[in-house]
Amino acid sequence: MEFASLDLNSNYTYADYLKWNFKERVELIKGKLFKMSPAPNRLHQDHSGYLFNALYDYLKGNKCKVYSAPFDVRLPGKTKEDKDIVTVLQPDICVICDQAKLDYKGCLGAPDIVVEILSPGNNVTELRNKYDVYEQAGVTEYWVVSPQDKTFLVYTLVDNKYQPSRLMVAGDVVNSSVLKGFSIDLANLFESVN
């Protein structure tokens, strides 16, 4: 099946997603198909690598695990059956502390932390659509990194609603409420990655 043959106005499930075998990377958000941006640019990959390595090093020996895209995060609806799952995302980075959510397909349920690194062309999907599904699914922390603007924003789930941090820049330090003692110095992130 070719990507071009799919009806972008139709609703799809994870069961459909598993049947597709085309070169384009896609995500499902509430049953709607979204084509992911072409391969991320070098700046995106540098930021992703820096954050993944920092999280990986911090989590050694910890029950929490960190994964980077491509890695399917399935957010179940009425059941956990493939035919009922209508949201499948590939966050740039995610941290999962509940081992029961991990299976050979990826993660079934809300990660504890999701990191999305903005690329030119994907900002609307990241900032509008994913924000809503991550909040509804119960992702505790949603980090949005803009390499172009050199900004970092953390949304923390409080009483089932996201509370945003202030917009952070080089010179600020990001602390996680999920990973006690973990921090990222944004001067190191933004100034060492060019």
At 164 the pLDDT is: 95
At 106 the pLDDT is: 96
Strands 141-146 and 151-158: antiparallel
| CATH 3.30.460.10 is the classification of domain 41-192 | no
d(CA 102, CA 104): 7
At 125 the pLDDT is: 60
pLDDT tens, 124-169? 666 778 899 999 999 999 999 999 899 999 999 999 999 999 999 9
Give one word for 51, left, alpha or beta, with left for phi > 0 and alpha for psi -120 to 50: alpha
Side chain identity at residue 136, one-letter code: Q
d(CA 110, CA 101): 8
Tokens 């049947």 locate to 19
DSSP code of 127? I
Instruction: State the maximum Cα–Cα separation within the chain, in Å, rounded to a whole number.
Output: 49
pLDDT < 70 regions, the chain: 1, 37-40, 121-126, 193-194
Strand order in the sheet with 113-117: 65-68, 93-96, 113-117, 141-146, 151-158, 161-164
Please name the residues in contact with 8: beta carbons below 8 A apart, sequence gap of 6 or more: 32, 33
